[in-house]
Structures are given as C-alpha cells and as structure tokens.
Chains A and B, each alone.
Chain A
Amino acid sequence: MVTGAAEGNGGVPHGRLLVRFAGAVLSEDENVLRRARDALAAALGSPGLVDAAGVVGLFNAIDRVADATGIPLEPEKAAASADFRAALDLDRFAVAARE
C-alpha cells in the first residue's frame, strides 16, 4: 500500500482511495486529482476528505523539514521499523546515503 504497488485496501478502510488521493494531490494531473477527490469525498464525506487533505499537506511539509535539516531516524523507531524498511527497500531514501 505504502509504495503503491499493492491492490486492495491493505486492511485500512478505503485504503486504496486514500493512497490514490495522496498520489493525486502530489501529482500535476488535475483530472486525476478531481476524480480521486470526488471518490474519497463520496466514501468518507466532507469531514473525512478535509482531514485527509490536511494530513497529505502536513506530511508533504514535514518530509521537507526532515530532509532539509538532516535529522536521523530515532534509534527506537529504526529498530521497530527495520523489518518493513528492508522489505520495502525504504533505506535507499536514507539521508546519510545522499551527497
């Protein structure tokens, strides 16, 4: 689900629609975004869509703070997430690996 490669909802209600919406907001395709927004609004209602858009916006910002300041992952989070980071090959995004 997180990498966008899986089908289904990943055990999260409306997971597929949420993943599609997040991708559409970060894309530049207005038609894709409109369809994703309408589908999510139909599934979650306006309050759900608003909160979803807020989370997408906030993490689009938090990622930039993290990447621009070079903060490391906390040791306890690194240990707890080691298995799925390896499974998803997420460590290739590590700040330390960049120039």
Chain B
Amino acid sequence: MSEFLAPTAFPIRDDLAAAHARAWTHLARPGTWWDGAARVAIVAETRQASLCALCRGRKEALSPFVIEGIHDSLGQLPEIAVKVVHRVVADPGRLGERWYRGVIKGGLTEEQYVEIVSVVAHVVAIDTMARGLGLDVPGLPTPEPGSPSRYRPPGAKLGGAWVPWIEPADAGEGEAGIYPSDRPPANIMKAMSLVPEEARSFFDLVTHQYLPGAVMRDFSREYRAISHAQIELLAARVSALNRCLY
C-alpha cells in the first residue's frame, strides 16, 4: 500500500495512490492553455474557495445573482478565473448557460475555461476523498516550467453541451485514446474533450477512484471492496446532495 496522501489507519490501494500521484504531477506541469504556475494557483484557489465569504453568502441566497461583492481570493489569478473557480467549487448545482456565456464574454476562452474546470475537478476528487478518510490534503505541487501547448482539437465543435466537444468520428491523432473503442462515450467523457490532455488525466483518476469504464456495468463480479450497488448508491447520494441531475 502506497501513501500519497499521508500515513493512515486506512491504507490506500497502490493503484489509487499511484493515480493520485500522477494527477498531482499533471497539475503542476504546463497545461494546454495555462502554464504550471497558473495551474498550481488554480489548485490553491480551489481550496481557498471554501473559505470565501461571498461564496457562502451566495450559496445561502435564493439566487446567487442577488449578492454583490468581491471573492476572498489568493490574488494569483485573473479575476475572471477566480470567479469560475469559486463558483464551480461553491455552487455548481446552480450554474447555468447564461452564466457560462457571460464568463466567455468576460475574457476567458472556452479552452481556458475547460482546463480550469478540469483542474478544479482533480483537486475536488482528491481533497474530498482525503476529508472522508480524515487525512490532510496533499501539499501544493511545485510548478514545472514551460509553456502551454495551446493544442485545440481541429474536430471540436458545439454539440449538446455549453462547451465545444469532440464526437468520436471527429477525433484525430491528438485525441487518440480519450474514448473507449468498443462503445459510444458517455457525455461526461466528452465534456472536457476540448482539452484532450485534461480528459485523459481526469479519466485516469476516474478509473482508479471509481471503476474502469469496461467494468462499470460488469455485474458478474466485484472489483472493489464495496459492491457495484454500494458504489452506485454513494454516487447517487452525492449527486443528489450536489443537485446534479447528470
């Protein structure tokens, strides 16, 4: 048993600890649209969001739009990026397309937006698990130097989501391996395909922290210490608490 998070009374599977370590390394590297320093700043801001008084007030309000104010941010990111990080962390269940369009009109590119969502999601997955086990969250990674690749998949286009995505038929060499070859991808797999490196990294985490895609519906045996039924009950309860229909 490896110990990415910390020595614990609850040992973490080696494959899962290795996936966490890969994810943490990934977050510190230059991304596709943000450099390593900015990505680590997004990691830090993700944690900061839970301390933000404005976010708390908006979360408790009937509508998040009735409360004005300034986010309690760490000051390392553009204001528009802080706005996205805080909202996705603190009140995701009430995000709407008009808000998203406003963010893009406010200066973020769609690609930058998707990469922010991915970094936030990586951190939330790992930090929430740590909280569940009563562990300290991992320290911030050290940013790696270098420039973003700025790769936009040529086949990306608007589909059923707010953000452009890649249909399997439009996937080129740069998107190789992001979708299963034996079945159509679920929309959640297409959600971050505008930034393929983020989709790859996040679904590496999904594979080890949840289940590999190929066995999600294999009810002939169990692959974890809890059963498929127990896993799906947890997933459904979390989604209900987050007010997430998907």
Interface, chain A (partner B; CB < 8 A): 1-4, 10-15, 18-19, 21-23, 25-26, 33-34, 37, 41, 44-74, 85, 88, 90-91, 93-95, 98-99
Interface residues of A: mostly helix, strand, loop or mixed? Answer: helix
Interface residues in B123-181 by Cβ distance below 8 A to A read 124-134, 160-163
Q: Are A63 and B226 in contact (CB under 8 A)?
A: no
Interface flags for B94-126 (1: CB within 8 Å of A; 0: not) read 111111100000000000001001101110111
| Contact flag A57-B126 (CB < 8 Å), given A15-B233, A25-B131 | yes
Max chain B Cβ within 10 angstroms of own Cβ: one of A34, A51, A68: A68
B239 within 8 A of A: yes
Determine the residue in chain B with the shortest Cβ distance to A10.
B233
List residues of chain B with CB within 8 A of the CB of A69.
Answer: 114, 117, 161-163, 191-192
Q: Are B205 and A58 in contact (CB under 8 A)?
A: yes
Q: Which of B12, B13, B117, B224 contacts A64 (CB 8 A)?
A: B117
Smallest beta-carbon distance A63→chain B, Å: 4
Interface, chain B (partner A; CB < 8 A): 9-13, 16, 65, 84, 88-89, 92-100, 114, 117-118, 120-122, 124-134, 160-163, 186-188, 190-192, 202, 205-206, 209-210, 224-227, 229-231, 233-246
List residues of chain A with CB within 8 A of the CB of B129.
Answer: 53-54, 56-58
| Contact flag A2-B124 (CB < 8 Å), given A52-B132, A73-B245, A74-B186 | no
